């Protein structure tokens, strides 16, 4: 985009994109947002220096992690026995650190655009592939984790790993950005920038459909056993603090399961 956008608009775009990013993950389940969540960030960094892109990406990532790691406050209070202010501080520091990875991705995306003249459709997936496996996350995660509900697309992980799935998502985000940018600037889009991402996505979906069919058939033909999983709704701390009660409840529920389902082959305790 030709004119540089103001900081407020850039910040708002990063906030919108960051919210869309975390909504795709477990706990929210809007996986389809991962296919477009980088669009606001790509717009925000389109005419800035790589250093400015680093800051905007860190803002984007910090907001994304604030939504994704909301459970850390409870974890720190429950298991580290921290008071709420310290738990909040730990949560904010974690989110800033984890989110900085997206700042590095934004930096590299913009650096490739500025120095190698790469469009976003190529620069973003390369940045994801370079940064995600090597960033020293405290809680490792991949962008591709967002597709846990989209089984047709996740089968490609068998061939490409999680990095490959993230790169595919980056390709589509970049392609959509290039398409929208071309429309706004009233210029033609270089066909390969749309055809290649769509073609690779189609191949991944075809592979996924075939592979799921193969695995369903294998599962159907496999020998079966009847399993009961015992869940007493006691916390991890209770396992030590209330050992006798923990065992008593498991035994009671196990006997009940055996009585109701005498055909059981296996009982599993957590």
pLDDT digits (tens, 9 = 90+) for 32-55: 999 999 999 999 999 999 999 999
Using the structure block, give the residue that is written with the tokens 């103001």.
6
Provide the b/e sequence for 102-128 (b: ≥16 CB within 10 Å). bbbbbbbbbbbbeeeebbbbbbbbbbb
pLDDT, position 168: 98
Strands (E), the chain: 227-229, 266-268
Average pLDDT for residues 14-41, to the nearest whole number? 96
> What is the tens place of the pLDDT at every residue in 253-268?
999 989 988 888 899 9
Q: Which three-class secondary structure state does DSSP give residue 17?
A: helix
Identify the band that residue 2 occupies on the pLDDT scale cut at 50, 70 and 90: very low
pLDDT, position 26: 86
pTM comes to: 0.89
pLDDT, position 212: 97
> Would you say 263 and 225 are in contact if contact means Cβ atoms under 8 Å apart?
no
> What is the tens place of the pLDDT at every residue in 90-128?
999 999 999 999 999 999 999 999 999 999 999 999 999
> What is the tens place of the pLDDT at every residue in 57-72?
999 999 999 999 999 9
Give the H/E segment covering residue 182. Answer: helix 157-184
**String of DSSP letters for 237-250:** THHHHTHHHHHHHH
Q: Is residue 147's pLDDT more than 90?
A: yes
Identify the band that residue 199 occupies on the pLDDT scale cut at 50, 70 and 90: very high
């Amino acid at each position: 985009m030709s004119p540089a956008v103001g900081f407020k608009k850039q910040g708002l775009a990063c906030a919108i994109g960051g919210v869309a990013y975390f909504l795709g993950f477990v706990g929210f389940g809007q996986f389809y947002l991962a296919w477009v969540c980088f669009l606001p960030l790509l717009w925000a960094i389109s005419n800035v220096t790589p250093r400015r892109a680093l800051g905007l990406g860190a803002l984007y990532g910090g907001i994304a992690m604030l939504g994704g790691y909301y459970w850390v406050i409870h974890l720190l209070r429950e298991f580290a026995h921290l008071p709420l202010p310290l738990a909040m501080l730990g949560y904010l520091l974690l989110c800033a650190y984890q989110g900085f990875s997206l700042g590095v991705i934004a930096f590299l995306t913009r650096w490739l655009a500025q120095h190698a003249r790469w469009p976003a459709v190529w620069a973003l997936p390369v940045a994801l592939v370079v940064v995600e496996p090597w960033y020293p996350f405290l809680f490792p995660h991949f962008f591709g984790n967002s597709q846990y509900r989209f089984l047709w697309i996740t089968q490609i992980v068998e061939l490409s790993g999680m990095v490959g799935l993230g790169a595919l998502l980056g390709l589509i985000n970049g392609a959509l950005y290039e398409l929208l940018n071309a429309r706004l600037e009233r210029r033609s889009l270089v066909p390969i920038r749309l055809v290649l991402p769509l073609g690779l996505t189609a191949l991944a979906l075809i592979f996924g459909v075939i592979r799921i069919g193969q695995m369903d058939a294998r599962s159907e033909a496999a020998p079966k056993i009847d399993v009961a999983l015992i869940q007493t709704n006691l916390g991890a701390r209770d396992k030590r603090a209330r050992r006798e009660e923990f065992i008593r409840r498991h035994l009671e529920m196990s006997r009940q399961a055996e009585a109701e389902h005498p055909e059981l082959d296996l009982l599993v305790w957590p």
